[in-house]
Amino acid sequence: MTRLSGITPSGHAHAGNYLGAIRRWAREGAPGDLYFVSDLHAMTTPYHPQRLRAHTRELLAVLIASGIEPDQMFVQSDLIREVGALTWLLECTCAYGEAARMTQFKEKAGKDGKVTARLGLLTYPVLMAADILLQGADEVPVGDDQEQHVELARALARRFNGTFGEVFVVPRAVTPQAGARIRDLAHPDRKMDKSAGDVAGVIFLMDAPDLVRRKVKRAVTDSLDRLEYRPDDQPGLANLLEIVAACTGKSPREVADSFDSYGTLKDAAAEALIEELRPIRDTARTLLDDPSELDRVRADGAVRARERGTHRLQSALRLAGVG
């Protein structure tokens, strides 16, 4: 069984990424799993090359620091020849309409999207299908915003197999049960996001403890002065309760029962986050300060992932009448 998931370096990694995805990968990962930094996916909207490179390294360091086995990770662009080639084969089995109706495309492309959006934004779910199908992944753990893309990968795998011959494993999305969905501390109506314009409410994994304290102290709550877990009516407060819950293994309701003021809850949320993230931040910092170790992990990961995937690409090219 192969489980595979990717994370896009579209900004600095934050507490939501860690509590909602990376920590789970580290805890639940089995030996055949693969996790990768999907840097090619960060190029579908305007971006800055040096920053992309730095965010990619940071994410790789965070994955290692989180305890995922180094032999289970790689950087997507190190396999650009393989995934690029497979993307083309899959694009030639995908209808324009299938790509154009993806919710994320419609949201990101905006109103005049058809005219100004990059083609890469339209075809990015096909690149994602190539990531998945190249490695023969059975299961793809993703947030619910990515389920539709995994459905597309399923459809393309079935279609290719049916048209040209059996080569791809048909993957399925696994969406984690009721995982932590961390909200922006300053805007609790939206999720914590790597590419948020205003970072006042985003706890980055590499933030120093004092900065974490300041951001949590300024977290938006409400004036109801009612310490209960009611996500719909008190989203800011519920977020703090969920953060403490995610860091301590308690339920948000239990956490609510153990505090009697918003202030003490905020202090506890800041300290819980700082302690939970400290080992990740410290180890990632050490790795980033010693590039040779990071380079070694990256190079080894690329070799292994390429070895695992190349035979599927070769078979697919042959069946498709090329290569």
Residues that bind ligand TRP (CB under 6 A): 4-6, 8, 38, 41, 128, 131-132, 140, 142, 146
| Residue of 240, 244, 238, 241 whose CA lies nearest to 272 | 244
| 309 touches ligand AMP (CB under 6 A) | no
Active site residue 194: yes
Helix (H) or strand (E) holding 275: helix 262-289
Report which residue's Cβ sits closest to ligand AMP.
20
Cα four-point dihedral sign 267, 271, 276, 279: positive
Q: Please tell me the distance from the alpha carbon of residue 20 to that of residue 86, in angstroms, as a whole number.
A: 30
Structure tokens at 38: 């999907």
Question: Using the rule CB under 6 A, is 21 a contact of ligand AMP?
Answer: yes
Q: Least distance from C-beta 64 to ligand AMP, angstroms? A: 17
Q: What residues contact 181, with CB distance under 8 A and at least 6 apart?
A: 16, 20, 191, 242
Residue among 34, 65, 89, 192 that touches ligand AMP (CB under 6 A): 192
**Sheet containing 73-75, strands listed edge to edge, beginning at the edge strand earlier in sequence:** 4-7, 34-37, 73-75
Cα 245 versus chain centre, distance: 21
* Residue showing the smallest CB distance to ligand TRP in the complex: 6
Q: What are phi and psi of 321, to 5 degrees?
A: 85, 20
**Distance between CA atoms of 172 and 152, rounded to whole angstroms?**
10
Q: Which does 6 bind (CB under 5 to 8 A by kind): ligand TRP, ligand AMP, none?
A: ligand TRP
Interaction between residue 143 and ligand AMP (CB under 6 A) = yes
Q: Which is nearer to ligand TRP, 11 or 201 (CB)?
A: 11
Residue 4 contacts which entry, ligand TRP, ligand AMP, none (Cβ below 5-8 A, type-dependent) = ligand TRP
Rounded to the nearest whole angstrom, what is the least distance from the CB of residue 81 to ligand TRP in the complex? 17
Residues that bind ligand AMP (CB under 6 A): 7-8, 16-17, 20-21, 142-143, 180-182, 191-192, 194
- Kindly list the catalytic residues: 108, 191, 194
